[in-house]
A and B are shown apart, each in its own frame.
Chain A
């Protein structure tokens, strides 16, 4: 009897021993056009990509100007407006971590590709901020704006517009479910006249503690 118990115990322990072992990690390349992962705890590509696409598309559509509004360049053709994209300010409830620089590059690249504007290189913007020791949010003060644009002009990059991007969020809670509305706002200010324009895009996202949370809270038959 004892022997049987002992052998049972030994075999159970051995079986448990072989039942589980550490796995490896694998990776794969996601094909273009494939759906993004949807972040379970915070925003990711599924939120930021459409936010940037929509905001920049709206921005470019509204800022398309007729040739008569443009200054004429030395070559006789209409000169493009020069935009200084100062940066992105994150005022949302989440820390966006490594997404901040990615968002900057996404917006900057799309504006550059549009051929409607001439963006100033980020490295020049950084160098000017470094030289003047100004905070990005303090550039709208008249003296600061003058000094900052003078530094850029001296570097061969005269500025027509300042562009700021701001990421904000609004949170609605209902028991164990949360809805977060993410908004990306692009704010364009004419440094010569002070006139400004503002555009935004929004993506709403729900977070739930259970798989049924989505069905329970967003059921079209419920309302």
Chain B
């Protein structure tokens, strides 16, 4: 028998209104979270497969569709699209896309407390992505390469921007880690490209020497860098009647992020405790069930380097200047505890919200079950932020060769342990007296379709 107390009618109505409001709030949050439940890693899987199958047009269409449908993925998808553009001969379009993303990342580097707050109620995917440090440098490297594939007018400016970014990242490293600025490890490729372009002026050998010296210090075991350094210190760009061919080889399939469930580390719990203590009167529970965080995956590859032949004469293998796999893993490891801590804090805040909401209403019956179910759905809808520049190679390698002016047949083949393991690709290059000619190629593995682009300007 249900008793109705007229004196409590207004209180019951008030509670019903609160319940309704919270129900709407939770439903809204769950629906927002559900829309982002699918991770970037899952969404990008199909375009990535198309890319490695050599179906660049289908890959572009798939990425463009993704860019239109998912606002938070747009910048990283644009980076992938730029790679597709560059390798399909649309260097200008690639440069435009990269410039847009560069400016967006520069803007998004500023903190947004609004996004941070919303991410505590949903997940990290609602935060704007401003790129990992190595992505910010590689973005400018690809800008230089895209420009060199055209007229090369702005390539020097882009290499200067690489140096500016290095400086900025080193300053950030100093302020965030408390370590000295000199301990920051920049990407050698940026210095190499600056040196390469300064050497090609035929009068700024001192600049070239300075940049090659930095690159050589970062890669002390790289023999070709030692040759470059020796050449600019006492030699010349090329002999009269000769030009230079630079082969930029993208080797292997690059790293990407996937979602995993892991137990929080003690370091992450410590950071999470600081976060939730700052937000409200909450404490960490003694145990935390596994949380969803991103992890780095590096696909296995069978290609070590690219063998270069000119007019059927063996020149040698390309040499590594940017180990992206290593960069991605080390960058992720440095941020892993912070990512984990945010996930823990988010879980505590969500649980506390549900408990507080339940406490303000009837403590039993269907309402409590409904609130518990909504809470479970809310937590389950959370997904890890797996956004990253997915169409990067595992390694960027370079080979420099001086050849007589005129047209030459360039043959490139994937190597493993210095032995060819797949079909080679051929292209014709035109070498101009005293100038550089640039070739970009991508060998993901022995089976995938490889691409070659040549500046021939």
Contact = CB atoms under 8 A, between A and B. Distances in A.
Interface of A: 1-3, 5-6, 8-10, 12-14, 16-23, 25, 41, 86-87, 89-91, 95, 97-98, 100, 125-126, 129-137
Given A3-B359, A95-B163, 10 more contacts: A2-B356, A6-B357, A6-B359, A10-B353, A12-B280, A19-B113, A23-B110, A89-B206, A90-B206, A133-B239
B117 A86 contact: no
Contact of B114 (A2, A21, A90): A21
If over half of A's interface residues share one DSSP class (helix, strand or loop), that class is named, otherwise mixed; here it is helix
Contacts of A19: 113
B281 A5 contact: yes
Contacts of B164: 97
The 7 closest A-B pairs by CB, nearest first: A6-B356, A2-B359, A17-B117, A3-B360, A20-B113, A9-B280, A17-B114
Contact of A22 (B108, B117, B201, B356): B108
B438 interface: no
Contacts, number: 100
Nearest to B110: A22
B207 interface: yes
Interface in B85-116: 107-108, 110-114, 116
A9 B357 CA distance: 12
Contact of B349 (A9, A16, A89): A9
A19 B116 CA distance: 11
A19 B235 CA distance: 59
11 contacts: A2-B355, A3-B360, A6-B352, A10-B353, A14-B117, A19-B113, A95-B163, A95-B210, A130-B202, A130-B434, A137-B205
A90 B207 contact: yes
Nearest to B276: A9
Contact of B207 (A13, A23, A100, A131): A100
Nearest to A9: B280
A13 B120 contact: yes
A6 B240 contact: no
Contacts of A25: 107
A132 B352 CA distance: 77
Size range of the chain B interface in the assembly: 35 or more
Given A2-B356, A131-B240, A126 B201 contact: yes
B262 interface: no
Given A13-B279, A130-B202, A130-B434, A20 B112 contact: yes
Contacts of A3: 356, 359-360
B50 interface: no
A98 B360 contact: no
Given A16-B117, A90-B207, A135-B205, A98 B110 contact: no
B114 A9 contact: no
A88 to B, nearest CB: 9
Contacts of A2: 355-356, 359-360
Contacts of B240: 131-133
B118 interface: yes
Contacts of B353: 6, 9-10
B203 A129 contact: yes
Nearest to B191: A95
B116 to A, nearest CB: 8
B26 interface: no
B153 to A, nearest CB: 14
B31 to A, nearest CB: 19
B113 A21 contact: yes
A91 to B, nearest CB: 7
Given A16-B117, A20-B113, A133 B204 contact: no
Contacts of A41: 167
Contacts of A136: 203, 205
A90 B121 CA distance: 54
Nearest to B282: A9
A129 B202 contact: yes
B66 interface: no
Contacts of B387: none
B394 interface: no
Given A5-B281, A133-B239, A22 B163 contact: no
Q: Which has the most chain B C-beta neighbours within 10 Å: A19, A41, A129, A135? A: A135
A100 B204 contact: yes
Contacts of B356: 2-3, 5-6, 9
Contacts of A137: 205
B160 interface: yes
Contacts of B107: 22, 25
Contacts of B434: 130, 133
B238 interface: yes
A80 to B, nearest CB: 24
Contacts of B113: 16-21
